[in-house]
Amino acid sequence: MSTSHHPRSWVASANDHPDFPLQNLPLGVFSRPGFGKRGGVAIGDFILDLQTALEASLFNGAARVAVEAASRGQLNDFFALGGSSRQALRHELLHLLDEKTLQRERLQAMGERLLVPMADCQMHMPAQVGDYTDFYVGIHHAMNVGKLFRPDNPLLPNYKYVPIAYHGRASTLGVSGMPVRRPNGQTLKPGAETPDFGPSKRLDYELEVGVWIGQGNEAGEPVAIDKAGEHIAGFCLLNDWSARDLQAWEYQPLGPFLSKSFATSISPWVVTAEALAPFRATQPARPEGDPQPMAYLFDEQDQAGGALDIELEVLLLTAQMKAQDIAPQRLSLSNTLNMYWTVAQMVAHHSVNGCKLQAGDLFGTGTLSGPQPGQLGSLLEMTEGGKRAVELPNGETRTFLEAGDEVILKARCRKEGEVSIGFGECRGVVIG
């Protein structure tokens, strides 16, 4: 892949960085020793401190307004400004961090006041999430799970007409690295007539992408599908930890509750819609015989370029593997092209009834499994509901997660002629 014609940065570690080259510039909220939470931009192995940049008057005009909002301890205010402000900030950042910038010496002289080593920082939730909605747009996951719960009727008839979703719990969203406590709840053992109470024995992960809402809409005013892109601020990785035994007992008739609301982990960096523009793709054609989306869900441009081509990876590192210094084992390699509905369709459907979306709301895509065995986004699918164990390189086996297991999600965008960008990691260790 030749990317020699693309701009490079005077921040040496950014060049050829697997996640954060000049072409990415994701935003997040971090703290450094001695300072409170503040907004920053990932560049190579560093975080550009936006408060320092603001104090040094490095930005003017629309970009300065954007930096004022993005430098705070939450990105909600920045998200609310919309796409033109994000673009103004990105344009100025690309200019300032380019190796040919005329301000290079001044910027380098600011040292770690401006560019803080990422290793010295703690990451925080990028925004205060008012509402969290988890969709179910991965059709292969829906089919696989449907076969386990309903062998004769795996995909309910509404799936191909409606972007299915449920309202999740915002209070237990946390950033990568938060510990995941095994939840308690009711479960019904096979053949039993009454449930037991206790810790979940079928703890699982879910490989998802998170969608950050930018500008909201007024209550009662749906977002038209051709305008939906204007309401999407950026993306992250999302692991919706799931207690499958609790889920099986509680999910009918109203869907997931305690089986999902105990923990959801996200990656800390918000990869903007602008950074992902080169990795837009045509929405895969629907299988023969599937209905065309209703008019409010259908837009020619969205079908032509509203999908995303992002490689998604799940790795597992057990406590024993860590002790033996064994590298994490890849469990799955999937892609966002496995989404049956686009992100714009998710936004249009969520708001079509007049629902008010707000800056900092978060959507999950649902588990994005692929059609092949090595592309499954949950242990529930990999083990066929716990019937077939996954073998690890050190001889351990897993049907579901055990104490000390660390799940690592990664994402990478690759395209011939483009600089590859990544999302960083979304990690979580199971406690108990």
Of 190 and 127, the structure prediction assigns the larger pLDDT to 127
Residue 1 pLDDT class (50, 70, 90 cuts): very low
Residue 293 pLDDT class (50, 70, 90 cuts): very high
Q: Please return the burial class of 395, using the count of CB atoms within 10 Å of its CB with bins 0-12, 13-18 and 19+.
A: exposed
Residue 5 pLDDT class (50, 70, 90 cuts): confident
* 223-277 confidence digits (pLDDT tens): 999 999 999 999 999 999 999 999 999 988 988 999 999 999 999 999 999 999 9
Q: Please return the burial class of 223, using the count of CB atoms within 10 Å of its CB with bins 0-12, 13-18 and 19+.
A: buried
**Roughly what angle, to the nearest 10 degrees, separates helices 83-97 and 61-70?**
100
Query: Structure pTM?
Result: 0.97
Select from 141, 210, 152, 135 the least CA-distant residue to 372. 141
Q: Which two tokens stand for residue 43?
A: 């560049």
| Cβ pair 162, 349 in contact under 8 A | yes
Beta-carbon contacts of 250 under 8 Å, excluding residues fewer than 6 positions away, are: 185, 186, 256, 257, 258, 259
pLDDT of residue 150: 83
Amino acid in position 49: D
CA distance 261 to 267: 18
Do 132-309+332-382 and 12-124 have the same topology in CATH?
Answer: no
> Percentage of the chain surpassing pLDDT 70?
99
Q: Does domain 12-124 have CATH number 2.30.30.230?
A: yes
What is the DSSP code (8-state) at residue 355? Answer: P
pLDDT of residue 149: 78
Would you please indicate which residues are annotated as catalytic (active-site) residues? 141
> Percentage of the chain surpassing pLDDT 90?
94
* 321-373 confidence digits (pLDDT tens): 999 999 999 999 999 999 999 999 999 999 999 999 999 999 999 999 999 99
What 3-state class would DSSP assign to 61?
helix
* Secondary element (H or E) of residue 116: strand 115-117
The CA angle 381-383-384, to the nearest 5 degrees, is 60
Of 177 and 151, the structure prediction assigns the larger pLDDT to 177
Beta-carbon contacts of 45 under 8 Å, excluding residues fewer than 6 positions away, are: 13, 17, 20, 117, 118, 119
- So what's the architecture of 132-309+332-382 in CATH? Alpha-Beta Complex (3.90)
Q: Is the pLDDT of residue 221 over 70?
A: yes
The CA angle 420-422-425, to the nearest 5 degrees, is 155
* 143-169 confidence digits (pLDDT tens): 999 998 788 888 989 999 999 999 999
pLDDT of residue 4: 58
CA distance 342 to 362: 15
pLDDT of residue 252: 86
Beta-carbon contacts of 147 under 8 Å, excluding residues fewer than 6 positions away, are: 154
Domain boundaries, the chain: 12-124, 132-309+332-382
pLDDT of residue 2: 44
Average pLDDT, the chain: 96
pLDDT of residue 273: 96
Q: Does residue 179 have a cis bond before it (omega within 30 degrees)?
A: no
